[in-house]
Amino acid sequence: MSCPIRILFHEPRIPSNTGSTIRLSAITGAELHLAGPLGFSLEDAKLRRAGLDYHDLATLHVHEDLAAAYAALRPKRVYAFTAHASVRHTDVAYAPSDVLLFGPEPTGLAAEVLADPIITEQVRIPMLPGNRSLNLATATGIAVYEAWRQFGFPGAQ
């Protein structure tokens, strides 16, 4: 048993953020889905370095685009992370198979993605005023660990 949350990156651009999230996927058991187009090659040295030797331990799926990712995931609930939301990530009662959606660096999710009716809720991670956003890998780690905490950290030591 592991964290039953699914992470979805829409058009990620920075390989080291995705590499770090591959490592997060490996150590929590959360699935990582990448919806293209990707801003890098999966063979990128920075992606490999950030993920260290965790690539074989992670569950990683690559989809042509967001529509293909949704078709494969068939999500019941999608939480779109954006600095502009009013609902905090800790106010959500996560359920197994929920999808945590994050946008590309440095722009975040586009208005048309956020307006899609498949989005259950737009959520944010609190931060001090005057700051634009968190690093993608950091934000993903915060969100995944909150969901996993709510599930009681199944499978963890």
The pLDDT value given to residue 71: 98
Give the whole-angstrom CA distance, residue 21 versus residue 24.
Answer: 5
For residue range 20-50, list pLDDT tens digits in order. Answer: 999 999 999 999 999 999 988 877 676 666 5
The pLDDT value given to residue 135: 93
8 A C-beta contact, residue 50 and residue 16? yes
Q: Which domains does the chain have, with CATH numbers?
A: 6-150 (3.40.1280.10)
Q: Would you say how long the chain is, in residues?
A: 157
The pLDDT value given to residue 43: 76
Q: Tell me the CA distances in angstroms from 105 to 13, 29, 91, one per residue in order.
A: 6, 24, 25
Which amino acid would we find at residue 157? Q
The pLDDT value given to residue 101: 98
For residue range 72-124, list pLDDT tens digits in order. Answer: 999 999 999 999 999 999 999 999 999 999 999 889 999 999 999 999 999 99
* Statement: residue 133 has pLDDT above 80: yes
Which of 17-21, 32-36, 135-139 is predicted with the least confidence, judged by mean pLDDT?
17-21
The pLDDT value given to residue 40: 85
Q: Tell me the CA distances in angstroms from 135 to 105, 125, 126, 131, 132, one per residue in order.
A: 8, 11, 13, 11, 10
